[in-house]
Amino acid sequence: MKIAVCVSGGGTNLQAIIDKIGSGEIHNTEIAVVISNNKNAYALERAAKAGIEGVCISPRDYETRDEFNKAFLEKLDSYNVDLVVLAGFLVVIPPEMIRKYVNRIINIHPSLIPSFCGTGYYGLKVHEGALARGVKVTGATCHFVDEGTDTGPIILQKAVEVLDDDTPETLQRRVMEQAEWIIMPRAIDLIARNRIEVTDGKVKILEA
């Protein structure tokens, strides 16, 4: 299975995927390309170190959003990937791309959807919201992408305890380490091994 990984920043989830392909925990999978909207994203350096092609396509380089969307989709299509992985990609995915890649785009979100998700909930804002509400458990969700925001079929979720002295930054780190870096590689592996079935907006994981 060939995948494209889309990133905007440091690329910690990308690194988790690279590492688990290397260790054999993700089967039958290669990263064909890493695409970033930010030419300074450290994720592109991670890709280079791993010998993976990295490209930057930024909305800033196009006069209109439609032009960017067209260029982005053309670039992605050129790699003939089976799966698109959004690993901290802070760009709205073009609707035509979602239609073309139905149940072939996955995203990681740092909360237990449907809590603290949707428009405006990204990055530290998710963890600020969780702490402000006083929840005792948070976590991460890996889901397919549809035309809503964080509304696609849920593949995997993992809970993480919230500690009394947490800050948004400490909580963000723990959610990454204890949930994101575990469930996103696992979701990719399940898809690569044809263990995922989507029916009526719900995911069923098939036993080996």
Give the domains, in start order, of the chain with CATH numbers: 2-197 (3.40.50.170)
In 3D, which of 64, 152, 56, 61 has the Cα closest to residue 103? 152
Residues 71-130: tens digit of each pLDDT: 999 999 999 999 999 999 989 899 999 999 999 999 999 999 999 999 999 999 999 999
Reply yes or no on whether the pLDDT at 208 is more than 90: no
Residues 131-177: tens digit of each pLDDT: 999 999 999 999 999 999 999 999 999 999 999 999 999 999 999 99
Residue 205 and residue 189: Cα distance in Å, rounded?
Answer: 12
Q: For residue 207, what pLDDT band results from cuts at 50, 70 and 90?
A: confident
Residues 12-47: tens digit of each pLDDT: 999 999 999 999 999 999 999 999 999 999 999 999
Average pLDDT over residues 197-208: 93
Annotated catalytic residue, options 27, 109, 127, 143: 109
Write the CA distances from 174 to 60, 66, 104, 150, 166, integer angstroms: 33, 37, 28, 21, 10
At 197, give phi and psi (nearest 5°): -130, 130
In 3D, which of 115, 113, 67, 65 has the Cα closest to residue 91? 65
- Rounded to two decimals, the pTM is 0.96
Active site residue 143: no
Reply yes or no on whether the pLDDT at 186 is more than 80: yes
